[in-house]
């Protein structure tokens, strides 16, 4: 990867720009419009939003204001937990498209799996939702489909009924929280891994190990975290609403972490974990941030 527009490939053969601009916790309205527009002005061509972030309208507005053609931008949004099931999934996608003011998505993700401790029928609920995703994919409403925060057991269950396996699994991934078994499972099943909070929500940026490596390259801790994901073939989605950081987070193509540095980062103790994971999702998950 040498530039923002270089792509990872998904199992359906489509490319996805190698760094996405994340919008989790970006307030709707002026902040979201200005920061997404700033990202597009700085060369990002991949924007990641979600119905659950409540900022899809602003993302759509920023895309239109940017003057960059829709087809030159890769847009991901996610299906919220209240909309599970076949019919509701189709309607939820339509609503996201309406909010975005777009007529197709590049990638649509199930934001959180239904999990065993929330109901014995968790497999059926996920399977039914996924059937909706497959329909949207076949109808061309969404060019690629995937999941977020799914663990291997939930992917194994999905496999029993899926015609198409997810193209992507978006998970928390950063130095200090790397979920290696899950990443290996996804790689073995040709599922592209995306990293939400690749900077550990900013909490990894003060870590001495990360900073020592950054210093050795004359780079910042944020650069090291973004590079770390890329060198693991994991697609990072750094978030910032600060124009200088939005721009600076793209300066990651002029250095490489050594194999030893990667190993050091791989073996860091748990640092910056958000506390969010599939089995911890509350029942209604309405107030559940990510």
> Would you please indicate which residues are annotated as catalytic (active-site) residues?
53
Give the residue with the Cβ less far from ligand A2P, 102 or 201.
201
By CB under 6 A, which span of 112-120, 198-206, 261-269, 275-283 interacts with ligand A2P?
198-206
Helix, coil or strand: residue 64:
helix
The binder of ligand A2P chosen from 147, 186, 198, 265 (CB under 6 A) = 198
The binder of ligand A2P chosen from 81, 249, 257, 278 (CB under 6 A) = 249
Task: Please list every residue from 160 through 179 that binds ligand A2P, using CB under 6 A.
Answer: none
Q: Which two tokens stand for residue 166?
A: 């997810």
Compute CA distances 24 → 17, 55, 78, 137, 158, whole Å.
18, 9, 11, 24, 26
Alpha carbons 8 and 106: distance in angstroms, whole number: 14
Alpha carbons 68 and 41: distance in angstroms, whole number: 9
Q: Which two tokens stand for residue 146?
A: 């995937």
By CB under 6 A, which span of 126-134, 135-143, 238-246, 258-266 interacts with ligand A2P?
238-246
By CB under 6 A, which span of 13-21, 163-171, 193-201, 279-287 interacts with ligand A2P?
193-201
In degrees, rounded to 5, the angle at the alpha carbon of residue 94 between the alpha carbons of residues 90 and 95 is: 115
Is residue 36 near ligand A2P by the rule CB under 6 A?
Answer: no
Minimum gap (Å) between residue 76 Cβ and ligand A2P: 15
Alpha carbons 208 and 213: distance in angstroms, whole number: 9
Is residue 205 near ligand A2P by the rule CB under 6 A?
Answer: yes
Closest by CA to 163, choosing from 139, 134, 124, is 134
Is residue 200 near ligand A2P by the rule CB under 6 A?
Answer: yes
Helix, coil or strand: residue 148:
strand
Compute CA distances 268 → 27, 203, 284, whole Å.
32, 14, 34
The binder of ligand A2P chosen from 76, 197, 209, 250 (CB under 6 A) = 197
The binder of ligand A2P chosen from 79, 111, 143, 239 (CB under 6 A) = 239
Task: Please list every residue from 206 through 225 that binds ligand A2P, using CB under 6 A.
Answer: 222
In degrees, rounded to 5, the angle at the alpha carbon of residue 56 between the alpha carbons of residues 52 and 27 is: 75
Alpha carbons 223 and 177: distance in angstroms, whole number: 17
The binder of ligand A2P chosen from 201, 229, 235, 252 (CB under 6 A) = 201
What mask, x for binding ligand A2P by CB under 6 A, covers residues 93 to 122?
Answer: ------------------------------
Is residue 23 near ligand A2P by the rule CB under 6 A?
Answer: no
Is residue 248 near ligand A2P by the rule CB under 6 A?
Answer: yes
What lies within 8 Å, CB to CB, of 13 at 6+ separation is: none
Which spans of this chain sit near ligand A2P (rule: CB under 6 A)? 22, 197-202, 205, 222, 238-242, 245, 248-249
């Amino acid at each position: 990867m040498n530039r923002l527009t270089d792509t990872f490939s998904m199992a359906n053969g489509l490319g996805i720009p190698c760094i996405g601009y994340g919008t989790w916790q970006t307030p709707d309205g002026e902040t979201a419009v200005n920061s997404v527009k700033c990202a597009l002005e700085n060369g990002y061509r991949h924007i990641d939003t979600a119905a659950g972030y409540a900022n899809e309208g602003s993302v759509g507005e920023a895309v239109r204001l940017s003057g960059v053609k829709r087809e030159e931008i890769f847009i991901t949004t996610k299906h919220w937990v209240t909309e599970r099931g076949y019919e509701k999934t189709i309607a939820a996608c339509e609503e996201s498209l309406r909010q975005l003011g777009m007529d197709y998505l590049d990638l649509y993700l199930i934001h959180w799996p239904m999990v065993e401790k929330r109901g014995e029928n968790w497999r059926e609920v996920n399977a039914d939702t996924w059937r909706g995703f497959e329909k949207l994919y076949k109808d061309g409403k969404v060019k690629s489909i995937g999941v977020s925060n799914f663990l291997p057991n939930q992917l194994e269950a999905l496999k029993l009924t899926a015609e198409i396996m997810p193209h992507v699994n978006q998970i928390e991934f950063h130095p200090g929280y790397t979920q290696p078994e899950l990443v290996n499972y996804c790689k073995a099943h040709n599922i592209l891994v995306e990293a939400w909070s690749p900077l550990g929500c900013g909490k990894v940026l003060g870590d001495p190990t990360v900073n020592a490596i950054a210093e050795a390259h004359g780079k910042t801790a944020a650069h090291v975290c973004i590079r770390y994901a890329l060198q693991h073939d994991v697609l990072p989605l750094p978030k910032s609403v600060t124009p200088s950081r939005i721009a600076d987070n793209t300066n990651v193509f002029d250095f490489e972490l050594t194999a030893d540095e990667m190993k050091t980062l791989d073996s860091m103790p748990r640092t910056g974990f958000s506390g969010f994971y599939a089995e911890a999702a509350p029942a209604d998950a309405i107030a559940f941030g990510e």
